[in-house]
Structure 1
Amino acid sequence: MAGNRTTTTHFAQLARAMGAAGADEDRLMLAVEAALDLVDGCTQAGITINREGDCQTLAATSDVMSSVNSWQNELAQGPCHEPDRTEEIVVISDLARDERWQTWGRRVHDEHGLRSTISLLVYSTKGTYGTLSLYADRPGAFDGDDLATAQAIAGHLAVSLAASREIDGLQLALSSRTVIGQAEGIIMERLSLDADQALAYLKRVSSQTNRKLVALALSIVETRELPEA
């Protein structure tokens, strides 16, 4: 079980570290490292994303996760193989005897000596970001406390990823608005138009040329040339 090591302090530190991380890749690594450190019995951990039936390893504590996922692809079996998985939690107490994905489970056991796993969806109200999978080298390694700890790690990661992507979206929107404003200024100066007329000009040319408004504005700013309207 997770024991006394897993405290509120650990999760506060994890939340701060994820918030301060510069990229999503760093947040993913923080999550798998936390799983290895905070969940007793966990010997391997990884984040997997399923892209149209192809399991891809986004972060892992070792190369073992890459082979585990490659077998899910090869055999079309495993907890991460279904692209539209809805099960929040999958628990396999003994991979060597699992009946649901027999061939995959047996290979994971035979090749890497892993016996049990828990796999959790990493999701928030903003979307699903993959699965967090933990493995152990003995059967029945994970108890209720371990599962709760893994869920907390997955939850922290989901919230951090959602916040990061929302900020990225706001920054992109702000950048787009800035470029459009700069293009409007050039149009106003060149064609002696007011702000509303300059924006109307941009929208008209965008529609006529089938170019996105931001791409058109960026071209005007970079070349200082106006397309024909």
Structure 2
Amino acid sequence: MLHLAQELQRQPDRETTLQAIVKAVVNTVPGAEWAGVSLVRGRKVTAEVPTDEIVRLLDECQSELNEGPCLSAIREHRSVNVPDLAAPDVDWPRFAAEAVRLGVRSLLSFQLFVQRETLGALNLYGPEPHAFVEDSVVIGDLFAQHAAVALAGATQEMRLGEALRTRDLIGQAKGILMLRDGLDEHQAFARLVQASQHANLKLVDAAQWLIAEVSPEKAR
């Protein structure tokens, strides 16, 4: 697990981190045939990097029905283990019926979290009932903890990159206004804020629009 954690930390961005997570899960956790990560953006749960079309379909099913293991893991702050989705007393009966129709009979879902911040869920699926043994649960839980840390780091780097790009765009826009209209830095910023409010745009979008007007290739 130490080698795995180090490998995840070396991934350059969130997308490759997620791809590394699901690939390693299928290769590491006994009984896991398919895997996927579902992430939370506001109130919306979005499926990313499924290892198979089956996983994508199951994630879509959970979103449409508003029920399923991923949503339970995220909302109830716990792990979910269903040995047999065809059992008569299974939770989420509509989701379970669709999963069985697609050839999925067992599942594990682990909440991904760092301290108190919920990021989403790691979902594992097996084609046979009782595919996941005790070691699957133990290894999956450890893996989810390492994966959550790596995922949080990748997400933080992505946000930092976006923040730096925003700063650069606003700086370029201020420079254009200072040069074109003879304004100082504070006046240029106030003019940009006024323009964004008037056009009902975010400040960075107003800056990008101004840059595109002057030099389209720099706004890309």
Q: TM > 0.5 between the two?
A: yes
- Residue 181 of structure 2 is aligned with which of 165, 185, 191? 191
* Residue 156 (1) aligns with residue 156 (2): no
Secondary structure of the residue aligned to 1:96 is coil
Tell me the TM-score normalised to structure 1 length.
Answer: 0.72
Counterparts of residues 132-211 of structure 1 (less than 5 Å): 132-136=122-126, 137-139=128-130, 141-143=132-134, 145-211=135-201
Runs (5+) with no aligned partner, structure 1:
1-10
How far did 1:169 drift? Answer: 1.7
Report which stretch shifted further, 75-84 or 61-70. 75-84
How far did 1:177 drift? Answer: 1.7
| Aligned-partner Cα distance in 2 for 1:178–1:51 | 25
Secondary structure of the residue aligned to 1:95 is coil
The residue number in structure 1 matching 2:29 is 39
Runs (5+) with no aligned partner, structure 2:
216-220
The residue number in structure 1 matching 2:218 is none
Q: Is contact 1:50-1:83 (8 Å) kept?
A: no
Structure 1 pair 158–100 and aligned structure 2 pair: CA distance change class (3 A): same
How far did 1:12 drift? Answer: 3.1
The residue number in structure 2 matching 1:20 is 10
The residue number in structure 2 matching 1:8 is none
* Residue 216 (1) aligns with residue 206 (2): yes
Q: Is contact 1:55-1:70 (8 Å) kept?
A: no
Residues 44-65 of structure 1, C-alpha deviation per residue, up to 9 Å, x if partnerless?
Answer: 3232457899976423333332
Greater gyration radius? 1
Tell me the TM-score normalised to structure 2 length.
Answer: 0.75
Return the letter of the residue paired with 2:2.
A
Structure 1 pair 88–190 and aligned structure 2 pair: CA distance change class (3 A): same
| Aligned-partner Cα distance in 1 for 2:98–2:186 | 66
RMSD: 3.5
Counterparts of residues 7-156 of structure 1 (less than 5 Å): 11-49=1-39, 57-69=47-59, 72=62, 77-80=67-70, 85-97=75-87, 99-101=89-91, 102=93, 104-105=95-96, 108-109=99-100, 112=103, 114=105, 116-125=106-115, 127-136=117-126, 137-139=128-130, 141-143=132-134, 145-156=135-146
Residues 76-98 of structure 1, C-alpha deviation per residue, up to 9 Å, x if partnerless?
Answer: 65323559621421112333325
How many residues in Structure 1 have an aligned counterpart in Structure 2?
213
Structure 1 pair 49–216 and aligned structure 2 pair: CA distance change class (3 A): closer
Secondary structure of the residue aligned to 2:194 is helix
Q: Is contact 1:55-1:72 (8 Å) kept?
A: no
How far did 1:187 drift? Answer: 2.3
Secondary structure of the residue aligned to 2:8 is helix
